[in-house]
């Protein structure tokens, strides 16, 4: 063990010498002279959490900057700019007005959540439905201070797996978030298992009166027809839940 300890110290000494040489020749920056990192939030240093008890450093709470919720929101990096860069035109103006009204104030968002009101955005490809929804979800987190997320329906359904008498963690996650946006709904025809899981999620959310948003290339009737290819009864139950929260 003594030889192992001497060997370890020797390796550390050699590494330190290499680092000093690299600093001397300008191949790496001296960490002691490096400028301090710039954080969007100085309180949590962009971690999303702050220590609430200095004597117990393992006790943390979410920071007021909401970075923790934003990181878990499913919003793509390119849409974390919010409304910036969004082109508003004839194809999405009404949708833009509806979402902006929904997220106009903290009280408005909380009223919408309390009453279970969701949003259904549909239109042709390229009108910015996902960007609009992502910006709205971002404001729900920042202004409304509620948990919210957006998820691609096809990818989400792919991750669902048959449970062996246990609750699927993904189902729990999609059920418990206050505002859920199902992006690109109806892009594919789900299997019977996936459609039944989707019905389960929608039922649980409806029982809690949690708002469900959705984006699609299809109208609600078109979505119903598409899902009915798998099972007409399950399809109607899923779409009816969207209509309840519309």
Residue 25: predicted pLDDT: 73
Residue 152: predicted pLDDT: 94
Residue 18: predicted pLDDT: 81
pLDDT digits (tens, 9 = 90+) for 28-48: 776 666 666 676 666 666 566
Residue 246: predicted pLDDT: 46
Comparing 18 with 8, the larger pLDDT belongs to 18
To 10 degrees, the CA torsion angle through 237, 239, 241, 243?
Answer: -140
Q: What percent of the chain has pLDDT over 70?
A: 80
Tokens 């418990």 belong to 176
| For residues 196-214, average pLDDT | 93
Q: Are 66 and 106 in contact (CB under 8 A)?
A: no
Q: For residues 10 and 2, what is the distance between their CA atoms, to the nearest angstrom?
A: 12
| For residues 181-189, average pLDDT | 94
* Length of the chain counted residue by residue: 246
Band of pLDDT at residue 11, cut at 50, 70 and 90: confident
Q: For residues 210 and 159, what is the distance between their CA atoms, to the nearest angstrom?
A: 22
Of 35-39, 88-92, 98-102, 128-132, minimum mean pLDDT range: 35-39
Residue 19: predicted pLDDT: 76
pLDDT over 70 (residue 60): no
Which helix (H) or strand (E) segment holds residue 121: the answer is: strand 120-122
Q: What percent of the chain has pLDDT over 90?
A: 51
Comparing 70 with 122, the larger pLDDT belongs to 122
pLDDT digits (tens, 9 = 90+) for 115-171: 999 999 999 888 999 999 999 999 999 899 999 999 999 888 888 777 655 678 888
pTM for the predicted model, two decimal places: 0.75
Residue 90: predicted pLDDT: 84
DSSP label of 188: S
> Mean pLDDT in the chain?
84
pLDDT over 80 (residue 194): yes
| For residues 79-105, average pLDDT | 90
Residue 106: predicted pLDDT: 92
Residue 39: predicted pLDDT: 64
Residue 170: predicted pLDDT: 86
Neighbour-count burial for 87-125, b at 16+ CB within 10 Å, e otherwise: eeeeebeebbeebeebbeeeeebbebbeeebbbbbbbee
């Amino acid at each position: 063990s003594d030889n192992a300890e001497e060997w370890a110290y020797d390796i550390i000494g050699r590494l330190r010498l290499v680092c000093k040489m690299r600093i001397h020749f300008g191949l790496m920056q001296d960490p002691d002279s490096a400028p301090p990192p710039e954080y969007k939030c100085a309180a949590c240093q962009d971690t999303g959490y702050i220590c609430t008890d200095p004597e117990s450093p393992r006790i943390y709470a979410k920071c007021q900057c909401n970075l923790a919720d934003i990181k878990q929101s499913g919003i793509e990096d390119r849409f974390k700019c919010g409304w910036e860069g969004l082109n508003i035109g004839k194809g999405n103006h009404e949708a833009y007005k509806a979402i902006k009204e929904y997220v106009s104030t903290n009280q408005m968002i909380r009223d919408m959540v309390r009453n279970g009101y969701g949003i259904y955005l549909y239109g042709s490809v390229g009108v910015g439905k996902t960007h609009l929804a992502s910006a709205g979800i971002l404001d729900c987190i920042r202004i409304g201070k509620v948990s919210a997320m957006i998820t691609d329906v096809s990818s989400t359904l792919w991750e669902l797996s048959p449970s062996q008498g246990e609750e699927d963690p993904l189902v729990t996650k999609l059920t418990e978030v206050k505002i859920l946006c199902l992006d690109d709904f109806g892009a594919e025809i789900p299997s019977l298992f996936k459609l039944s899981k989707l019905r389960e999620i929608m039922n649980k959310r409806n029982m809690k009166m949690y708002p469900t948003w959705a984006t699609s290339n299809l109208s609600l009737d078109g979505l119903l027809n598409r899902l009915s290819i798998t099972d007409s009864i399950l399809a109607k139950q899923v779409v009816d839940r969207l209509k309840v929260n519309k």
